[in-house]
Structure 1
Amino acid sequence: MKNIFLALFAISQFAVAQNKSKIDTTNVEKLDDVFITANRTETKRRETPVAISKLSAKTINETKAVAAYEIINKTPGVLMVNLGNEQNMMAIRQPMTTNAYYLYLEDGLPIRPLGIFNHNALLEINQFNLESIEVVKGPVSSLYGPEAVGGTVNLISQKPSFYPTFKFGLQADQWGYKRIQAAAGATLGKIGFHIAGISSLQENSWMTYSDYNKDNLNIRVDYNINDKTRLISNTMIGKYYSDMSGGVNETDFYNRSYKSTSDFTYRKSDALRTRLTLEHDWNPNANSYVTVYLRDNKLGQNPSYGIRWSATKNPTTATGEINSNNFKSYGVIGQHTQKFNFWNTTMVSGALYDYSPVTYWSYLINLKATLNPGTPGQQTVNKYEIVAEQPETKLANYTANIYNTAIFKQFSFSPIEELTFNVGARYDAMKINYENALDLSTGNKNYNKFTFKTGVNYNPIKNAGFYGNYSQGFSPPNITSIFRAKSGTGGSTGVPAAFYYNLKPATFENYELGGWMNLISNKLTLDYAFYYMDGKNELLSVRLEDSSTDYRSAGKTNHKGIELGFNFRPNTQWNIRMGGTVAKHRYIDFQLSDNSADALQNLGGYEMPQAPRWSGNSEVSYYPNWLPNFRTAIEWQSVGSYYQNQINTAKYKGYDIFNTRFGYKYHNIEIYGNIMNLTDKLYAYNLSRGNTANAQTTYVAAAPRTFLVGIQYSLCLKK
């Protein structure tokens, strides 16, 4: 990465020499009430009938985040769960989950193709390349397609600056984390560019076996062919490798003995995304674009979550797995936006074609389990060791070609100034042609779905508005779930491998009411939303006695809650932000067991596990007049209690933690510091427990108090 940063510096100096006499024509007024994600076009908040939040460049810059969750958790109604080393799970109108109910976009284009969801997709993001983040809560499948169910996160990249700019920074903490980052941009005649790179390294942290390193480079080049036509190129190259320390048992957690039970588990990723967009303005009321893109991802794992161990069957042995998931995507998406004078109507029409070949294999490894002292049947593991790898014992082995074709259309119109209607629909046709080497079968799977949404905004006065919407969501099963051999079949079991060919797509219906207000001369803003969402055939991971996972398409689930965001800026020195959600997620009809000997057959009426009734993030920021260019803030992250298991017999009390941030800028140099977990509270980011009587809780331990310090140099040359 050293060469990358030297190149960035050299390019910035060349841009300085070429642009000293230029005049900035891109310094436009920043409008925080304008969004792109909700309607695929720039739309004012008062015309957007969904719950949507925007995290601005100022928020991103002041957060100085190590990982994306530190920024995204500032969104009311969002809980992005840190799993360590930039890995995560998400909770937006869903329990904390790794299921495919969230869509992650990069400048409006999904980071992953349909059917290959990865809850860790955001670890590929370059935090130093972000201009803003928009989060839509609730289904937007009618615009963006499957997986846009619980929420959609759109990461919007930096654009080329007109004046030459250059930034360079370093940051580190006391636990062995270090990051170097640089960015440069300028406009040279008709060509503008922006380049940003980061290199992160974690060594010898508070948790054993938790090192990682990450290198990312983003390059954007804009070519203004003329005043109506633009050609835009975006490329991301990323490499990531991380130890996977996994969770700890209850005794080690409360003793703060942060010791991994394995020293061989890992996750590694090589990612390339590149796209080329041609935009054309036909006239002030008509605009079109077409984007061609390529994705190339290689993901390899020896995952800690893949370890299978039973305290009662044969506690000194266990199994694990090594897997590889590689795919490419070749796609094109086109969109046309047309505005009409009649009723101030806007029509958005588009189509997408995506072809993604994928290969996946997974094989068994045998492990030895060294136990901690304890009562037989209730012991815990001190350490796992690899005894033998069995490449011939495949748990999954398939190739597939995924074809996704979609068309979408959306209308918005205002018969009167105070009233705006929004109607949208999309049809997705997903086809999977596969070859499964384990049962020597070939075939195809088809998941086709029409999704619809409609909404209305009513703005009776300038400073207040209300909205309501009905929207549908749709998520087909991930193909890694379909072609995974069922527990107790295949491999060396002697039982022919059985698969999840009959998994059904999950469908959702969401009903929502909300509104916004600007009060006290815009010093006080308030956003709120009430939602009620029914799910059918949700793909749920059922944890069995030996910690293995079985997949089921649930009968029915229900999700309902209230989301609230509050911001008060009494003067230029103070800003108070509060946000959170009160929610309840429960099973309506879910057959947990078909065994008549089991006491609990159906989870109907039970709360879903890992679903806090409350979560929120609030912050008080201070910018003293008596010390210009200084900032400080204290943040409160709160997560309420939730059940650890499906049968609701064990609960976690949740946690409240505080973080503080401060920074001072002197001319072109900024010095900053973050103190995370200010009170050094003992808590877990996440925990889970099996349904059996002797099941034990696994804790994903949170970091002790952490001191992050950094320095950043920024240069912008104007005439």
Structure 2
Amino acid sequence: MKKTFLILLTIIGILSHAQNKKTKDTTRTELDNIFVTANRTKTLRQETPVAISKITSKTIEETKAVSLFEIANKTPGVLMVNLGNEQHMMAIRQPITTNAYYLYLEDGLPIRPLGIFNHNALLEINQFNLQTIEVVKGPTSSLYGPEAVGGTINLISQKPSYYPEFKFGIQADQWGYKRIQAAGGATIGKVGFHVSGISSVQENSWMAHSDYNKDNLNIRVDYAINDNTRLISNTMIGKYFSDMSGSVNESDFYNRSYKSTSDFTYRKSEALRSRLTLEHDWNASAHSYLTVYHRDNKLGQNPSYGIRWSQTNNPTTATGEINSNNFKSYGAVGQHTQKFDFWNTTMVSGASFDFSPVTYWSYLIKLSATLNPGEAGKQTVNKYEIVSEHPELKIANYNADIYNTAVFKQISFSPVSKVTFTFGGRYDNMKLNYDNILDHSTGKKTYDKFTFKAGVNYNPFKEAGFYGNYSQGFSPPNITTIFRARPGTGGTTGKPAEFYYNLEPATFENFEIGGWVAVYKNKLNFDYAAYYMEGKNELLNIKLEDNTTDYRSAGETSHKGIEFGLNYTPNRQWHIRLGGTVAEHRYIDFKVSDVTTDAIQNLSGYEMPSAPRWSGNSELSYYPNWLPNFRASVECQYVSSFFQNQINTISYEGYTVFNGRVGYKYKNVEFYGNLMNFTDKLYAYNASRGNASSAQSSYYAAAPRTFLIGLQYNLCLKK
């Protein structure tokens, strides 16, 4: 099957080569696209042996997204799952998960330090400050280090404009969402600057207890010391507060009763990120930079996912938690890129150091539960209320200093025409000095790993290219997981708290082939990737009956699939984009029980939950000649059915949703409207269920039909 597929693509490439010889064409091909993320330096796609996609500034500008998932999901192989109010989970070569298998970068620098992963990190991003987004699928640990396993998303910020420019916009929908945004910049002599800010508010939405507000400010200043040397500073300040409505039960979901079981849960964040970069071009073939940076992040929660309720013990009571996770980072990364004429060789070398002290605490709150009518064992909760808070009953309480050190090197060369080889390696060392207050222990832990990748590109024609690679991934357990008391210990249980000190780092091996084809004078572009990735000691969880989570370093898992994207532009008026992935994620060996009487003790061969076999996003765009500056598009998001639980007995049907967007520019003013879910389909972004027979399904409900309207003013003062 794979061999036939590759032969077919080669034939298409040969035909396209013949087609373009007959009709001379100066249009750039897909292979001419330049990326910076895959090799940490500007590289042509034809020299990049990975699956990489770029979301252009045009796509970002036309999407007018409320939340980043609306943009990210346009990338084949990416399913960013909306949890409301810009909260999210991700699925790139993994099931839908909150695990630390994704690396989020802002202009090439990780948003968070290793060991303090947060699946909601992208809610801190200012959407109005984005220039482009690059997405690398598959492990890139050999360049970027741990957590770069399923995918790496690099959000590339706006740069100072040469001419003075200013943008201001407002947008709102019928559900109480409003946002104002402004940006401007200019270059005056040797100094360029760009400032961008947004302020978002959500009140009285379709979902109960789902208000939020967010304020972000980004400032960039570039100083050209001379023609070869530049000093660049970036500062981001952000504040976020959101009610956490959480998931809804099955009955409320299908009755469209979007009520929250709690009116006290919340998530709040304060973030500061600043960096200073010195760049120097030694000559046309040598470039170096040194970046020093600082992070200051405070995250507090009374999380809806922390509510633990048992139908069997005392169903009218429950517990929750309040927690706080605060860290600061001080770090530096340096890199040198050297090009040689011999075999057209490029070498990238670098090192990084990060020191991040962190404090975390979580304490118990007692809740009362008002039940919905129903049979015993099948009842659900109508509402939780706080009975009492207990700061003295800690679920977790620790201080830690994290030291992350790394060195990396990558070399690419072309010994023969049309063939490029790439080899890279990185050594990461994470040292953790901790003080676990709950068990009065202090100690040290070290996680280190050398990761490697090897790839080859073959470009037989200008219109076609192929690649293959082998890459390794690595991810230590998140320290929040390590120092959290195991279910059934600590708190009010009367048992001493037990912790996850023995969790092992997860390691991955990825094998991949892929390529690109451009035909019909580059009007039709097609790219694809087929991969097989195997994980060992992957951090997985078991959802227990009372909604607590027990963590395991699993034996083995497998992840395999095919990603594909097609862009067709028959003329200037029409553009068609098709993209998607077919994937399968399974347990190879995952022991979930040591009790001989349990029906299922090992999930070997079972599919992983929240792992749709098919997902994709496609779009038809229209730019009429008869009405210049007008645009209209229809988008389809598809997610197939998937299992809700680990034992594969309950599945969710998936969904197909349609969105529409229109916009019109008149001089300096743009009017636009987005119609999201225009068929008003009832669907959930995710659905989950425990393995117990008495477990109930919970649904993260998606919004009903939503009308968003906006106005934006754009001014550029060209001389």
TM-score tier after normalising by the smaller chain length:
over 0.9
SS at match of 2:385: strand
Counterpart in 1 of 2:79? Answer: 79
Counterpart in 2 of 1:156? Answer: 156
Give the Cα separation in 2 of the matches to 1:99 and 1:459.
Answer: 36
Counterpart in 2 of 1:196? Answer: 196
Aligned: 1:536 with 2:548: no
Counterpart in 1 of 2:378? Answer: 378
Counterpart in 2 of 1:69? Answer: 69
Counterpart in 2 of 1:11? Answer: none
Change beyond 3 A, Cα 1:562–1:367:
same
Give the conservation status (yes or no) of the 8 Å contact 2:142–2:453. yes
Give the Cα separation in 2 of the matches to 1:161 and 1:32.
Answer: 24
Give the Cα separation in 2 of the matches to 1:64 and 1:381.
Answer: 38
Give the conservation status (yes or no) of the 8 Å contact 2:30–2:45. no
Structure 2 residue identity aligned to 1:99: N
Structure 1 residue identity aligned to 2:453: K
Which digits, 9 at most, give the CA deviation of each residue in 1:337-395, with x for residues without a partner? 00000000000000000000000000000000000000011100000000000000000
Counterpart in 2 of 1:42? Answer: 42
Give the conservation status (yes or no) of the 8 Å contact 1:436–1:483. yes
Give the conservation status (yes or no) of the 8 Å contact 1:517–1:525. yes
Counterpart in 2 of 1:314? Answer: 314
Counterpart in 2 of 1:704? Answer: 704
Alignment of 1:244-259 (within 5 A): 244-259=244-259
Q: Report the Cα offset of residue 575 of structure 1.
A: 0.2
Structure 2 residue identity aligned to 1:400: A
Give the conservation status (yes or no) of the 8 Å contact 2:31–2:462. no
Alignment of 1:11-410 (within 5 A): 33-410=33-410
Which digits, 9 at most, give the CA deviation of each residue in 1:551-571, with x for residues without a partner? 100000000000000000000
Q: Report the Cα offset of residue 493 of structure 1.
A: 1.3
SS at match of 2:570: coil
Q: Report the Cα offset of residue 30 of structure 1.
A: 12
Give the conservation status (yes or no) of the 8 Å contact 1:32–1:54. no
Give the conservation status (yes or no) of the 8 Å contact 2:30–2:516. no
Alignment of 1:441-460 (within 5 A): 441-460=441-460
Give the conservation status (yes or no) of the 8 Å contact 1:312–1:377. yes
Give the Cα separation in 2 of the matches to 1:400 and 1:642.
Answer: 38
Which digits, 9 at most, give the CA deviation of each residue in 1:507-566, with x for residues without a partner? 000000000011100000000000000000000121011110001000000000000000
SS at match of 1:221: strand
Give the conservation status (yes or no) of the 8 Å contact 2:352–2:406. yes
Counterpart in 2 of 1:620? Answer: 620
Counterpart in 2 of 1:662? Answer: 662
Structure 2 residue identity aligned to 1:688: S
Q: Report the Cα offset of residue 336 of structure 1.
A: 0.2
Give the Cα separation in 1 of the matches to 2:53 and 2:310.
Answer: 44
Give the Cα separation in 2 of the matches to 1:590 and 1:252.
Answer: 33
Q: Report the Cα offset of residue 125 of structure 1.
A: 0.2
Give the Cα separation in 1 of the matches to 2:234 and 2:31.
Answer: 24
Counterpart in 1 of 2:12? Answer: none
Structure 1 residue identity aligned to 2:658: F
Counterpart in 1 of 2:13? Answer: none
4+ runs deviating over 6 angstroms: 29-32
SS at match of 1:569: strand
Q: Report the Cα offset of residue 31 of structure 1.
A: 9.6
Give the Cα separation in 1 of the matches to 2:602 and 2:39.
Answer: 40
Q: Report the Cα offset of residue 417 of structure 1.
A: 2.3
Which digits, 9 at most, give the CA deviation of each residue in 1:241-273, with x for residues without a partner? 000000111111111000000000000000000
Counterpart in 2 of 1:688? Answer: 688
SS at match of 2:308: coil
Change beyond 3 A, Cα 1:31–1:123:
farther
Alignment of 1:570-581 (within 5 A): 570-581=570-581
Give the Cα separation in 1 of the matches to 2:417 and 2:520.
Answer: 24
Structure 2 residue identity aligned to 1:701: A
SS at match of 1:634: strand
Q: Report the Cα offset of residue 694 of structure 1.
A: 1.3
Give the Cα separation in 2 of the matches to 1:173 and 1:494.
Answer: 50
Give the conservation status (yes or no) of the 8 Å contact 1:32–1:56. no
Counterpart in 2 of 1:586? Answer: 586
Which digits, 9 at most, give the CA deviation of each residue in 1:59-116, with x for residues without a partner? 0000000000000000000000000000000000000000000000000000000000
Scaled by the length of structure 2, what TM-score is found?
Answer: 0.96
Give the conservation status (yes or no) of the 8 Å contact 2:142–2:452. yes
Change beyond 3 A, Cα 1:201–1:32:
farther
Moved more, 308-317 or 171-180: 308-317
Alignment of 1:637-656 (within 5 A): 637-656=637-656
Q: Report the Cα offset of residue 32 of structure 1.
A: 7.0
Identical amino acids, percent of aligned pairs: 77
Which digits, 9 at most, give the CA deviation of each residue in 1:371-430, with x for residues without a partner? 000001110000000000000000000000000000000000001220000000000010
Counterpart in 2 of 1:5? Answer: none
Q: Report the Cα offset of residue 204 of structure 1.
A: 0.1
Give the Cα separation in 2 of the matches to 1:298 and 1:225.
Answer: 35
